[in-house]
Amino acid sequence: MSAGVVDAGLIGELTGIVGAAHVLHDPEITAGYAVDWTRRFAGATPLVIRPGDTAQTAAVMGALAGAHIAVVPQGGNTGLVGGSVPLAGEAVLSMRRLNDCEPTDELASQVTLGAGVTLGEAQAHAAASGLSVGVDLAARDSATIGGMVATNAGGINVLRYGAMRAQVAGIEAVLADGTVVSHLAGLEKDNTGYDLGSLLAGSEGTLGIITRVRLRLHPTQPERATALLAFATAADAVSAAAALRRSVASLHALEAVFGSAMTLVSRHLGVVPPVGSMDHGTGGGAWLIAEAAARSDPSDELGAAVAALDDLVVDAAVALDPAARQRLWAFRENVTEAISAAGIPHKLDVTLPAARLAEFVDGVPEVVRAADPAAQPLLFGHLGDGNVHVNVLGPGGAEPAGEVDEAVLRYVAELGGSISAEHGIGTAKLSQLHLNRTEAELAAFSAIKRALDPAGLLNPNVLLPPNA
């Protein structure tokens, strides 16, 4: 049920819980919470509530449940699938004020963080104890730990540490009726029933509001070597990626930018990549960024592995100092910004089995053009874990036709891939979830949803198709 016109009694009750400064209903202010990072998904909300801790979150949920008001939980609002904004008039529960970092537990290499702590703040906090967070991504200064668990975020180090679910050693959350469930001891061996942290990871705000997370941390790997490798074909890049995975024990990231995306990002930055040719115009060519990280200098290990690729690689540049490494990373980290500056893309974040990856990269531009001849596909992603980000811009940066999403995601499913690697389903891919999930699985999902949120108040338009 949407919030519609909110009753003055409810506003008074919410104000009593979080304070007047944190119950927002001025449309000029709430509008900022109703549009997503991509600008593709925009709605409206009559009410934004900003609790400051778990007890306030629980009391707010109790009040909203009593009034049958649906809620969209929101962290940094960097999600890319339209799951973090109120598209059907829901209230918004902004979690950013839950930004407490508890002292790092150095004996356990774990830390308990408020859901609203940003990834950048978590990284700085862990680094003070010589530890690091296992997941890293370019939206680090805005994305929150709660949002990252809710989406099971992936990013650039999944090949070494796994995605966000693998980092969760404990969780605290508020259920739809205001009940608090808390399991934060962080015991590495703990088989005392269902793992609610795993269940909430990737639940996209549909099963509970995450308020605190106990994160596993990892030893820092301060010595780094980064290579930018240019290839003539996607198939060569895929073969090289497999070889690097097999031979570089300290491999920390293995990212790809394909032809047309490299053209765009390099124009955006005003710099051409130091290796490879930009002659291919809208297609062809592929670049890999391979980063090794260790306690002692990994450059010999990476250098030897790159040298062994000489029948595949066209050219290579290796950087060791932070500034030079950052100049190579810029060609990958700025692709999303470059696309956003060019228009409002459809974002199709997919994984392919390793054996079908090159075929997909070569085949998908034709699939896109068959669905919308004027659409422009841009491909990049986390090649080390088979994750390709297919972004599609319409003519002149406008939105491409809706058929494009369906065609690309069907192609992914035909090749045995996943239609969502790391961004989630949100509202963007609701109608394609059946491509990857059977009716029996969707029925099980619905049963879990009904058990934890019987009134359907938590992000009711996200993840699960309404008829599932």
* Euclidean distance between CA atoms 287 and 401, whole angstroms: 28
Q: How far is the CB of 59 from ligand FAD (least distance, A)?
A: 16
CB of 294 or CB of 428, closer to ligand FAD: 428
Q: How far is the CB of 381 from ligand 2HG (least distance, A)?
A: 6
CA torsion through residues 191, 194, 195, 198, sign? positive
Q: How far is the CB of 367 from ligand FAD (least distance, A)?
A: 23
Q: How far is the CB of 335 from ligand 2HG (least distance, A)?
A: 6
30 binds, among ligand FAD, ligand 2HG, none (CB under 5 to 8 A by kind): none
Strand pairing category for 48-49 and 91-94: parallel
Q: How far is the CB of 3 from ligand FAD (least distance, A)?
A: 15
Strand pairing category for 71-74 and 91-94: parallel
Give the total of residues touching ligand 2HG (CB under 6 A): 7
CB of 22 or CB of 389, closer to ligand 2HG: 389
Q: How far is the CB of 117 from ligand FAD (least distance, A)?
A: 10
As to burial, measured by CB atoms within 10 angstroms (0-12 exposed, 13-18 middle, 19+ buried), residue 104 is: buried
391 binds, among ligand FAD, ligand 2HG, none (CB under 5 to 8 A by kind): ligand 2HG
389 binds, among ligand FAD, ligand 2HG, none (CB under 5 to 8 A by kind): ligand 2HG
462 binds, among ligand FAD, ligand 2HG, none (CB under 5 to 8 A by kind): ligand FAD
CB of 63 or CB of 135, closer to ligand FAD: 135
Using CB under 6 A as the binding rule, the residues of this chain from 117 to 146 that contact ligand 2HG are 138
347 counts as binding ligand 2HG under rule CB under 6 A = yes
461 binds, among ligand 2HG, ligand FAD, none (CB under 5 to 8 A by kind): none
Contact with ligand 2HG (CB under 6 A) among 2, 94, 263, 336: 336
CB count within 10 Å of CB 360 equals 25
347 binds, among ligand FAD, ligand 2HG, none (CB under 5 to 8 A by kind): ligand 2HG
147 binds, among ligand 2HG, ligand FAD, none (CB under 5 to 8 A by kind): ligand FAD
HEC sequence for the chain: CCCCCCCHHHHHHHHHHHCHHHEECCHHHHHHHCECCCCCCECCCCCEECCCCHHHHHHHHHHHHHCCCCEEEECCCCCCCCCCCCCCCCEEEECCCCCCECCCECCCCEEEEECCCEHHHHHHHHHCCCEEECCCCCCCCCCEHHHHHHHCCCCCCHHHHCCHHHHEEEEEEECCCCCEEEECCCCCCCCCCCCHHHHHCCCCCCCCEEEEEEEEEEECCCEEEEEEEEECCHHHHHHHHHHHHHHCCCEEEEEEEEHHHHHHHHHHHCCCCCCCCCCCCCCCCEEEEEEEEECCCCHHHHHHHHHCCCCCEEEEEEECCHHHHHHHHHHHHCHHHHHHHHCCCEEEEEECCHHHHHHHHHHHHHHHHHHCCCCEEEEEEEHHHCEEEEEEECHHHCCCCCHHHHHHHHHHHHCCCECCCCCCCCCCCHHHHHHCCCHHHHHHHHHHHHHHCCCCCECCCCCCCCCC
CB of 90 or CB of 349, closer to ligand 2HG: 349
Using CB under 6 A as the binding rule, the residues of this chain from 387 to 406 that contact ligand 2HG are 389, 391
Using CB under 6 A as the binding rule, the residues of this chain from 52 to 111 that contact ligand 2HG are 80
Using CB under 6 A as the binding rule, the residues of this chain from 147 to 186 that contact ligand 2HG are none
CB of 294 or CB of 367, closer to ligand 2HG: 367
205 binds, among ligand FAD, ligand 2HG, none (CB under 5 to 8 A by kind): ligand FAD
Let me know: does 250 contact 301? Beta carbons within 8 Å. yes
CB of 138 or CB of 242, closer to ligand FAD: 138
309 binds, among ligand FAD, ligand 2HG, none (CB under 5 to 8 A by kind): none
Residues near ligand FAD, by CB under 6 A: 37, 72-80, 83-84, 95, 115, 137-139, 142-144, 146-148, 150-151, 153-155, 204-205, 209-210, 336, 422-423, 459, 462
Q: State the residue number with the nearest CB to ligand FAD.
A: 147
Q: How far is the CB of 138 from ligand FAD (least distance, A)?
A: 4
Where along the sequence are the contacts to ligand 2HG (CB under 6 A)? 80, 138, 336, 347, 349, 389, 391
